[in-house]
Amino acid sequence: MPPPAQAHAALILVDVQPEFMPGGTLACDHGDTLVAGIDALLRQRRFRHVVATQDWHPPGHVSFASAHPGHAPFEQITLYGQPQTLWPDHCVQGTPGAALHPGVDWTALDAVIRKGSDPAVDSYSGFRENHGPRGTRPSTGLAGWLRERGVDEVFVCGLARDVCVLWTAQDARALGFRASVLWELSRPVTPDSDPATRAALQAQGIGIVVSV
């Protein structure tokens, strides 16, 4: 871990929202158990730059199984030539499940990247939307925001380890940042995905920080 307020490192907190925790429509395995640890980390002020991402879908979003008659949550379809998992309705704009978790003191936060607000495009990564109808992955603006502040290294944690955390870390690395995942401050949708997640991170040269 970096020393306090390291100028060139940023912490990215991915989708720390009630919807991804027990009681939410898309709960991760023990997703609520990372709240206290994330809150403690932010209170330590170890990062000069802190960004949160927030899933923020309109009703009827293209990623919702309910938008595809005859399909059920967690089925896969092809969308814009790419595989698309269909999810339960989740993180609908303005609902309690879409809020940043109230158990975290967010006063250290510098910016919030809301993603998935385009009704026709899903979004896992904090850096780029998923493939859209034009075959591209539009930028969220996060990479430019970080570069303007001299950031060259990011530490990623949050939910879900095997989806949005993974994609955010992979995009960070692909865009030229050094990247690490804070393993104990993330949780997967399903624990049996952990070996594949580790392998994907290691293959791209992304660090895995076991303790913080």
Active site residue 115: yes
Mean predicted confidence (pLDDT) in 73-89? 95
Verdict on whether the full-model pTM lies above 0.85: yes
Q: Average pLDDT of the chain?
A: 94
Active site residue 157: no
Confidence (pLDDT) at 134: 83
Of 28, 29, 32, 115, the active-site residue reads 115
Active site residue 118: no
Evaluate if residue 211 carries a pLDDT over 90.
Answer: no
Of 28, 122, 164, 171, the active-site residue reads 164
CATH of the domain at 186: 3.40.50.850
**Rounded to an integer, what distance in angstroms lies between the CA atom of residue 6 and that of residue 33?**
27
- With respect to residue 1, please indicate whether it lies within any of the assigned structural domains: no
To the nearest whole percent, how much of the chain has pLDDT over 70?
Answer: 96
- With respect to residue 50, please indicate whether it lies within any of the assigned structural domains: yes
Range of the domain at 173: 6-209
- With respect to residue 44, please indicate whether it lies within any of the assigned structural domains: yes
Nearest to 158 by CA among 38, 56, 45, 22: 38
What are the φ/ψ torsions at residue 108 (nearest 5 degrees)?
-80, -5
**Rounded to an integer, what distance in angstroms lies between the CA atom of residue 41 and that of residue 88?**
31
Confidence (pLDDT) at 25: 96
| Neighbouring residues of 94: CB distance < 8 A, sequence distance ≥ 6 | none
Mean predicted confidence (pLDDT) in 83-102? 97
Domain tally, the chain: 1
112-122 confidence digits (pLDDT tens): 999 999 999 99
Q: Which residues pair with 181 in a beta bridge?
A: 156, 208
- DSSP reduced 3-state for 110: coil
